[in-house]
Structure 1
Amino acid sequence: MPHVYMISDHHFGHKNIIDFESRPFGDVGEMTESMIDKWNAVVGKEDSVFHLGDFSFLNMEKTSAIMARLNGYKTLIMGNHDRGRSKRWWLEAGFDEVSEHPIVYGGFFFLSHEPMYMNKHMPYVNIHGHIHGQKYEGNQYVNVSVEHWDYTPVLFEDIKKLVVPSEEQ
């Protein structure tokens, strides 16, 4: 049975992110290869991945080459660094679907790049990226930036276990 994964903020090709976020890589090439390996170690060909933005700083040829190596059906929810390129560009680069806006998944989860305002009385959960190593308090937010998950896509079922009491699942 196919699985669903979520991840954000790979920043492929962004040399300075290694220093900005204290990433454990010697250079961009090592970062790229490690992140591709970690993706494919958990994501199978039949699985789906929601990438919650800031995927690549590289040109079309290099971005497409990375996309071709990544397993799964890939949906991009565009992040602030992705918006300089069109939806069509990202589709041509290899994403199967692209959204310029947050989407509702499973009727209960808001998938967005930036964290969304969530009133504590709202019965929803915001799965997001953008803030890298930082984390919002409370069980209404799950940050899937690569820094929190050892650069590995997170199984949606594991995210649900973090935020939905077991009797409601």
Structure 2
Amino acid sequence: MVNWYTADTHFGHENIIPFCGRPFRHVGHMDSMLIENMWKVVQPDDDLWIIGDFAFGPKAKDPEYLDILFGQLPGARKHLIVGNHDLAPTLALPWDSISHLTEVRDGPDGLHHTLCHYPMITWNGARKGTLQLFGHVHNNWQGSRNAVNLGVDQWDFMPVSFQQVAQRAKRLPVNQHWGDVERGRVLI
């Protein structure tokens, strides 16, 4: 079993294509490519974590559209970390878990990493090397050494494993405000 993470899919949202410069012809093309990309990596016994903004726009209010879309998601278990665009019809889908913030044990170190739709400056275990996985800011910011943007706009519209996230985190700069909130703790 592998955890796969993604954020800001914005299924059904036509305006996200020009807003974020997504390389899709129309929303149907985007939706089908996002689903196809998920199926390329997420296996039948895996967990799929959507870190907010599953769907948006008029289609996000259509329960029938959302049911069909949800039924196409791969993996044994599907989890939603609630984002600012996740409306009641999205929350009514048969997710295995729904939360605003959660900790997931992942990676070779066995640490509990924090998932929240919004980037945070610190979180439980941050001083001990846990990462924060977020979305919300689309293509505006990759993140920092210990907080990584998992939005589809940052990852070629693919879900990613924790190993991929950890590798990217090592290449990102230290958050310039880390010393303001975690005095005396320097990230390597």
| TM-score of the alignment, normalized to the shorter chain, above 0.5 | yes
Per-residue CA distance 1:30-89 (angstroms, 9 max, x = gap): 00111110011111111101110000122111111011111111100000011x32xxx4
Query: SS at the partner of 1:53?
Result: coil
Unaligned runs of 5+ in 2: 106-110, 171-188
Once the two structures are TM-superposed, the CA of residue 136 in structure 1 deviates from its matched residue by 5.1
Once the two structures are TM-superposed, the CA of residue 23 in structure 1 deviates from its matched residue by 0.4
Query: SS at the partner of 2:64?
Result: helix
Pairing 1:119-158 to 2, within 5 Å after superposition: 122-123=127-128, 124-135=130-141, 137-158=143-164
Question: Which amino acid in 2 is paired with 1:80?
Answer: N
Question: Aligned residues, how many?
Answer: 157
Pair 1:102-2:101 in alignment: yes
Query: SS at the partner of 2:132?
Result: strand
Once the two structures are TM-superposed, the CA of residue 126 in structure 1 deviates from its matched residue by 1.1
Once the two structures are TM-superposed, the CA of residue 137 in structure 1 deviates from its matched residue by 4.9
Q: CA, structure 1 residues 137+79, in 2 after alignment: closer, same or farther (shift >3 Å)?
A: closer
Once the two structures are TM-superposed, the CA of residue 16 in structure 1 deviates from its matched residue by 0.5
1:75 alignment partner, one of 73, 79, 93: 79
Question: Which amino acid in 2 is paired with 1:63?
Answer: L
**8 Å Cα contact 1:7-1:145 kept in structure 2:** yes
Query: SS at the partner of 1:122?
Result: helix
Once the two structures are TM-superposed, the CA of residue 163 in structure 1 deviates from its matched residue by 3.8
Pairing 1:46-61 to 2, within 5 Å after superposition: 46-57=45-56, 58=60, 59-61=62-64
Question: Which amino acid in 2 is paired with 1:110?
Answer: T
Unaligned runs of 5+ in 1: 165-169
Which has the greater radius of gyration?
Answer: 2
Query: Which residue matches 1:26?
Result: 25
Query: Which residue matches 1:115?
Result: 119
**8 Å Cα contact 1:68-1:94 kept in structure 2:** no
Once the two structures are TM-superposed, the CA of residue 161 in structure 1 deviates from its matched residue by 3.4
CA distance in 1, matches of 2:150, 2:64: 26
CA distance in 2, matches of 1:44, 1:5: 10
Q: CA, structure 1 residues 152+163, in 2 after alignment: closer, same or farther (shift >3 Å)?
A: same
TM-score (norm 1): 0.85
TM-score (norm 2): 0.77
Q: Identity of aligned pairs, percent?
A: 33
Q: CA, structure 1 residues 92+118, in 2 after alignment: closer, same or farther (shift >3 Å)?
A: closer
**8 Å Cα contact 1:76-1:95 kept in structure 2:** yes
CA distance in 2, matches of 1:27, 1:6: 24
Pair 1:66-2:69 in alignment: yes
Question: Which amino acid in 2 is paired with 1:75?
Answer: H
RMSD: 1.9
